[in-house]
Amino acid sequence: MSVQALDRTFDLLELLAHFPEGLGLSDVSIKIGLHKSTVHRLLGSLKDRGYIEQDEDSSRYRIGVAFIALAAPYLNQLDLKTVTEPEMRRLSDKIGVTVYMATLRDDEVVYLNKVERYDGFRRFDIIGRHVPVHCTSLGKSLLIDHTPNQIRDILIRHPPVNKTTRTRTRVDDILADIELCRIRGWSSDLEEHEEGVNCVGAPIRDYRGRIVAAISAVWRSLRSGEEIEKSGRTVAVSAGEISKKLGYIPD
């Protein structure tokens, strides 16, 4: 296979990866700028190997199951700590603060890893600790894809309590806050869980698009609204880079 044919094949696969419902031959041809006959030949070869499937009713092409077997060895050896730590260190160096990574377990945030800065804000016992979802940036990021009813159910099982004077405990306020996090792509905790502690977080997605973890940047010093916004966007970019390593393909 020539380099040109290989490039065209990957262009085709990357295109179909963004259309889980599939695309017809004409649509594929238009979107990648190749003649139908060329596209049909490439699709045929990939279909024979199981990397492309064709719906019998609509004739649309989509990514096939052979990719699962191809990716399985890589996906099985992925470890969240191993995958996230290099990006966490880059994020910590860039913003100059401590960075945490956590996941959702039994409706609570569980810390899995940390990259500390020697700035007086050190937590030796944080790994494995459980904290609430309603007043932490990590918790809010982990709930971004949950429906309002799912979040309500969690808050029924774990009623929100005041941690500081800034903690939101009304369910509607918590839902509105998480919706804001979903819209902008990152979350915040401005002294809601602990007095004098501020943080921003963002979700990490796997190859299925599911949120499997979240990272957060934490600091004690006062920051302006503009600095918080900038930090939030920076954390979201880092979370996106980690997601890509887990096989996530953004829409």
What's the pLDDT at 73?
63
SS (H, E, C) the chain: CCHHHHHHHHHHHHHHHCCCCCECHHHHHHHHCCCHHHHHHHHHHHHHCCCEEECCCCCCEEECCHHHHHHHHHHHHCCHHHHHHHHHHHHHHHHCCEEEEEEEECCEEEEEEEECCCCCCCCCCCCCCEECCCCCHHHHHHCCCCCHHHHHHHHHHCCCCCCCCCCCCCHHHHHHHHHHHHHHCCEEEECCCCCCCEEEEEEEECCCCCEEEEEEEEECCCCCHHHHHHHHHHHHHHHHHHHHHCCCCCC
Q: Does 142 have pLDDT greater than 80?
A: yes
Give this prediction's pTM.
0.71
Phi, psi of 114 (to 5 degrees): -155, 150
Domains (range + CATH), the chain: 3-74 (1.10.10.10), 78-245 (3.30.450.40)
Residue 92 has a pLDDT of 93
The average pLDDT across 187-210 equals 92
Average pLDDT of the segment spanning 149-175: 95
Q: pLDDT class for 243, splitting at 50, 70, 90?
A: very high
Contact 219, 200 (CB under 8 A): no
Q: Sorting pLDDT into bands at 50, 70 and 90, what band is 188?
A: very high
Which carries the bigger pLDDT value, residue 9 or residue 221? 9
- Give residue-wise pLDDT tens across range 99-109: 999 999 889 99
